[in-house]
Amino acid sequence: MSIHPSAIIAAGAVVPESCTVGPFCTIGPEVVLGEECRLISHVVLDGRTRIGARNVIYPFASIGVAPQDLKYKGEPTETVLGDENTIRESVTISRGTVGGGGVTSLGSNNLLMTCAHIGHDSHVGSHCILANAATLAGHVTIEDYATVGAFCPVHQNCTVGTHAFIGGGTIVTQDVLPFSKTSARRENKAFGVNSVGLERRGFSPERIRALQKAFRLLLVSKLNTTQALEKICELNGEDVALLAAFIERSQRGVIK
């Protein structure tokens, strides 16, 4: 095990021999690290925190710290991370609250850039990117393969759909459609399918065309959301069905 002499590891913490703990890191007594994790330096891991294998955590990141919620009174809530995440400088991930389910979670193979924040009781899937200073309030859900651009605040209880791309500086106060591009440059509106991202992830031209047809009904036609949804449900394809189901279950409404 490679542990710098200046690091502080509390009794009870689980740190496998394959891990590297750099200078001035602190690891709390209820933290469990997976194999081959690397803590570069000045990393704080606190609370009931479980971290999977091969995560790389950069200086001044704080994970599992108490939530920024005045109702929190020290209850034993949790933070859970998957495998092979890259967590860059000054990222903060707050543990859950009793009122929000008690768990904040991050999947696997994510990139969290400098100063990104994941608030209490938020759930981020896998293969996501949170760019610099992307800020998730409490109770936010980010589905797999989504990208949240730099300096994007996401309001409490919002959901960002799978494969969505949010441009930098966009203020998100409603749910973001899966497969969509949404940007502040377009007055915080969705403006079509994230075609480039879907191509990079191996979507066939047929799948993309089916989604484009559904998005034209939703965004360009003169139909309201309910009418457009009825037409979308008549189309074929699993991706289109996923889009329709997302709209149907949205509680905050979707950005159009």
Beta pairing, strands 141-142 & 38-39 = unpaired
**4 catalytic, yes or no?**
no
Beta pairing, strands 2-3 & 20-21 = parallel
Q: Is 202 exposed, middle or buried (0-12, 13-18, 19+ CB in 10 A)?
A: exposed
Beta pairing, strands 62-65 & 92-94 = parallel
**Choice among 138, 149, 161, 167 that is catalytic:** 138
- Residue 119 is inside which H or E element, if any? none
**Choice among 46, 121, 175, 239 that is catalytic:** 121
- Residue 106 is inside which H or E element, if any? strand 103-106
Contact 190, 167 (CB under 8 A): no
**138 catalytic, yes or no?**
yes
**120 catalytic, yes or no?**
yes
**The pair of three-digit structure tokens given for residue 256, joined into one six-digit string:** 């159009």
Which residues have a Cβ under 8 Å from the Cβ of 108 and sit 6 or more positions away? 52, 82, 83, 84, 85, 126, 127
* Three-class SS state of 50: strand
* Three-class SS state of 186: helix
Active site residues: 120-121, 138
